[in-house]
Structure 1
Amino acid sequence: MKAFIETFQKYGIAVTVKEVREPMGLSKNEHIRHMLAMPRINNLWQSTFGKKANEQDVQQLYQIFTELILSVLPSYTDPIPEVVETINELKRAGIKIGSTTGYTKKMMEVVIPNARNKGYEVDACYTAEDTNGLGRPFPYMIFRNMEVLKMSATKQVVKVGDTLQDLKEAQYAGVWSVGVIIGSSELGLTLGEFESLSKKEQKEKIQATREIFLRHGADFTIETMSELTQVISKINQRMESK
């Protein structure tokens, strides 16, 4: 978020955290296009530059963003709580772990080894560059993971994510979808901000986010990654009963 905010600041455009969060999950150039199309930002851009933003502006913003994000990414590769333990438990159960991302290959060259050093490692990872630029919500990154991990059916695949774009990606691919609430862009709070709330406020925020995820097609929601193994068991039971 900080990189997006600083990118627009370089053009004299002040964007909000809420505006940055809205397109989360898209590839980063699509994220910038989406922000430029927002009415408030669009009006600011036109009043500042006397014209609508064009593709050249998108690419210039994207270049600035890329330079900024690559400079800070090494400091933002810590796995969120319970991810490492949960992923390792799933691996021990024979489940393969694939990843899709809105980052570019160059960005993932920073993220993957840093995350690996902190205990988080996937079996495969694909970016929009691997699918002719068709990132989320298109399903093709999921399909590339399925191909390399030799998955024979979409019903054997579970997409876990924390953005509405993740849920769309799952729907378009025809796979199970799980929305992670705490730490998500939809919840809209850092872990520290969330923990500073009262228990009542936390419950209200969680429920509001759960309802958004379910309205947008999530098959399941979980508060944290520690609940994922239980969801996998439920999915297995449903498939066995059919």
Structure 2
Amino acid sequence: LVGSDTFGVLGEARQVALPQLLQCVRPPPVVDGVPQKVSLTCGYVHLPSDAQKGADLVKDATIALKRAKRDHRGQHLQYLEHMGREARDRAMLLSDLRAAIDDARLFLVYQPQLHLGTGALVGMEALLRWRLPDGRFVSPDDFIPIAEHSGLIAPLGQWVLSTACQTLCALAREGLAPPRISVNVSVVQLQDPAFPDAVRAALAASGLRGSQLELEITESVAVVPTQLLQSTLASLRADGVSIAIDD
């Protein structure tokens, strides 16, 4: 037993036959007369010819197992060296992201939205950016998934929402504000029952009306439980907030 739901098997390749191993719970085991459907996912590593610490081998097998659970559930996946590099890179990126948030190195840029017929400014979209000390930028495609997986997206998303609303308010005082501002919203944020209240708080703090805010969501919201999604979106729309589908 390696973890609460993780088991280790050690043996020669001819003895540890992975396809048969994955089939060992079919048909389902019966507990107290009730069949219990169980599935297995396997991440494995071949023992190297050179001596290597057992703890390192377990770590490598765990990396393969996590990748298998993510992309190949119910199947088996061998650990390859690039998986370890990617895991280390993600861990380093997460550490750097935490430091960047603490040091206020993330910022927003605003992309204008124009009416194609008249060229009039009808809105602007708030886009989160991260610039490294050497001037290079980290792509949102790289750091946003890390923020979502680590839970950082909740406070980061709230900061983006509040800052964007404050920016539109400041532009309105100068007579330069477009009718609305658009903010991207993560699936993780939508799964938080308190999200509508967080949106209302950002609007109240900036003095904006709901009609001045548009939330952009992606088609990945399909993973959100239907009842929760409908309740969240209905609550936001009732406040005048518009919803747009991105991508």
- Superposition TM-score, scaled by structure 2 size: 0.25
- Superposition TM-score, scaled by structure 1 size: 0.25
Q: Which has the larger radius of gyration?
A: 2
